[in-house]
Amino acid sequence: MSKEWPLWEVFIRSQHGLAHKHVGSLHAPDAEMAVNNARDVYTRRNEGVSIWVVRAADIVASSPADKGALFEPSNSKVYRHPTFFPMPEEVKNL
Amino acid sequence: MYAQMVETGLKNVRTVDDMSEEERAFQERIDAGIKIEAKDWMPEAYRKTLVRQISQHAHSEIVGQLPEGNWVTRAPTLKRKSILLAKIQDEAGHGLYLYSAAETLGVSRDELLAALHSGKAKYSSIFNYPTLSWADMGAIGWLVDGSAIINQIPLCRCSYGPYSRAMIRVCKEESFHARQGYDIMMALARGTPEQKAMAQDALNRWWWPSLMMFGPSDADSVNSAQSSKWRIKLFSNDELRQRMVDQTVPQAEFLGLTIPDPDLKWNAERGSYDFGEIDWSEFHNVLKGNGPCNRERLRTRVKAWDDGEWFRDALVAHAEKKQAKKAAA
């Protein structure tokens, strides 16, 4: 069997100026082909105006086991949300 | 369905007593509707079953291009040809989304393709039937893609994140397939008597194989019971098949075509159509490799892969050369 093509993660920015969003992955021999393939696989219906491709091997991800350590500290900090502070009804524009 | 009779490798449905602590926590997450992601802990049987199910589904999308490829050069108009090409390109895309989902479970796409090409992996029985006339393009879109949608919509809510996300993408595109098929059937049904006869003939040939797509009754199947528990199967084969019959009969009536089943009749009490016995010996025979086109489909698929090898290799060689130049500079 020939050498397998590396895996790339694909990110697309949709029409309305939003950030690039992960849409899926694909195989391609190099970055240029990865962009070409991403065009065919992920934008057949005007899904985007810009494509990013990143080698899957280059992505560093948090591990599910670290979920507690990473995300629990923010659970107790409800005061970071504006709804934590009830405002009197007669006070406007806040 | 696109994945038929998927084995879990288990003899009994896992009970709480069989489960390790990890497995119990896993099952609780599923019961709570929390998605399982690639890096989460999962039982080996869940992983293996998903690889089987998702790769079978992917293979079906890829092999499913072949019966339609037969009509690209013979489509009646340029518009129909463009539409058919777009549909076939979608099928390739659906295959790729699904292979990617399977790869998150620790198998490579080339391994999965090798299993397809060696005849070890299965794909849906439906693609082993021939496409004899242009009307078959209509019947496939209407009945086969119609059945696929019925199967795939619930899978958008399945427990495995990457599979569910692939299904959401697929479902968004799939209704184009069903509608273009029905549109072909409408054009034929409103055409000359010969054209209408073509449409009827296609319905006659595709009706029963389409019902078989859902697989035999799995009311007593351990595999299905376990898969439901894991939420990678959300409805029984019989429920999905009934849904297909109930939604398709009025569509056939609108076309003025007759469903080829003398036992088909509305059951007011059930609020559903009763329908005749399915010839399961035909289904099992097709699965065994003896359908009208099994050998031809696999041969075409393997030839396409082998003929493309020099090109895939050339792209790798080119990429490596560029990389080496860049490193040297």
| Interstrand relation of A50-55 and B265-267 (parallel, antiparallel or unpaired) | unpaired
CB nearest B316 (choices: A5, A7, A25): A5
Give the single-character DSSP code of A66.
Answer: G
Confidence of residue B13 (pLDDT cuts 50, 70, 90): confident
State what percent of residues in chain B have pLDDT above 70.
Answer: 100
pLDDT for res B6: 85
Quick one: average pLDDT of B191-198? Answer: 98
CB contact under 8 A, B319 and A29: yes
**In this predicted model, what pLDDT tens digit does every residue of B218-257 receive, in sequence order?**
988 889 999 999 999 999 999 999 999 999 999 999 999 9
State both tokens at B55.
Answer: 């790769």
| B35-40 own/partner pairs: CB under 8 Å, 24+ apart | B35/B159, B35/B160, B35/B161, B35/B164, B36/B159, B36/B160, B36/B161, B37/A64, B37/B161, B37/B162, B38/B104, B38/B105, B38/B161, B38/B162, B39/A61, B39/A63, B39/A64, B40/A64
pLDDT at B270 (0 to 100): 96
Q: What integer pLDDT is reported at residue B220 of this predicted model?
A: 84
- Reported as a pLDDT band with limits 50, 70 and 90, residue A2 is confident
Interface residue B22 vs chain A (CB under 8 A): no
Determine the CATH number of domain A5-60: 3.10.20.520
- For the cut 60, the answer to whether the pLDDT of residue A1 exceeds it is no
The predicted-structure confidence for B55-99, as pLDDT tens digits, reads as follows: 999 999 999 999 999 999 999 999 999 999 999 999 999 999 999
Task: Copy the structure tokens of residue B285.
Answer: 């025979």
Q: Which of B223, B233, B214 is nearest to B283 (CA)?
A: B214
The whole-angstrom separation of Cα B317 and Cα B309 is 12
* CB within 8 Å: A44 and B103: no
User: Residue A9 pairs with which residues in a beta bridge?
Assistant: A25, A54
Closest-CA residue in chain A for B94? A41
Instruction: List pLDDT tens digits, range B137-165.
Output: 999 999 999 999 999 999 999 999 999 99
Please say whether the beta carbons of A52 and A20 come within 8 A. yes
- The Cα B237–Cα B4 span in angstroms is 9
CA end-to-end span of chain B, whole Å? 54
Residues B274-305 pLDDT 10s: 999 999 999 999 999 999 999 999 999 999 99
Distance CA B99, CA B115 (A): 13
pLDDT band for position B171 (cuts 50, 70, 90) = very high
pTM of the model: 0.93
Collapsing DSSP states into helix, strand and coil, what is residue B312? helix
pLDDT of residue B9: 83
Check residue B1 and give its pLDDT.
53
DSSP letter (8 states) at residue A12: E
The B residues from 118 to 157 touching A (CB cutoff 8 Å) are none
Kindly determine whether residue B110 and residue A45, on different chains, have CB atoms separated by under 8 Å.
Answer: no
Cβ contacts of B275 within 8 Å, gap of 6 or more: B211, B245, B261, B263, B264
Among B151, B113, B116, B312, smallest CA distance to B232 is for B151
- Using 50, 70 and 90 to split pLDDT, how confident is the model at A16? confident
Distance CA B91, CA B173 (A): 10
Mean of the pLDDT values across residues A9-27? Answer: 93
Task: Inform me whether the C-beta atom of residue B219 falls under 8 Å from chain A C-beta atoms.
Answer: no
A22 phi, psi to nearest 5 deg: -65, 130
**A41 vs B41, B96, B313: nearest CB:** B96
Judge whether A29 and A42 are in contact, CB under 8 Å. Answer: no
DSSP state of B67: H
Task: Give per-residue pLDDT as tens, B69-80.
Answer: 999 999 999 999
d(CA A4, CA A8): 12
pLDDT bin (cut points 50, 70, 90) of residue B170 is very high
A52 Cβ contact partners less than 8 Å away, ≥ 6 residues apart: A10, A11, A12, A20
* Count of residues making up chain A: 94
Average pLDDT, integer, range B9-17: 84
pLDDT at B7 exceeding the cut of 90 = no
Average pLDDT, chain B: 95
Residue of A39 and B18 predicted with greater confidence: A39
- Using an 8 Å CB-CB cutoff, list chain B residues near A24: 97, 100, 165-166, 169
Instruction: Tell me if A13 sits within 8 A of A49, measured CB to CB.
Output: yes
Q: Encode pLDDT of A27-85 as tens digits.
A: 999 999 999 999 999 999 988 999 999 999 999 998 888 888 899 888 889 999 999 99
Per-residue confidence (pLDDT) for residue B197, from 0 to 100? 98
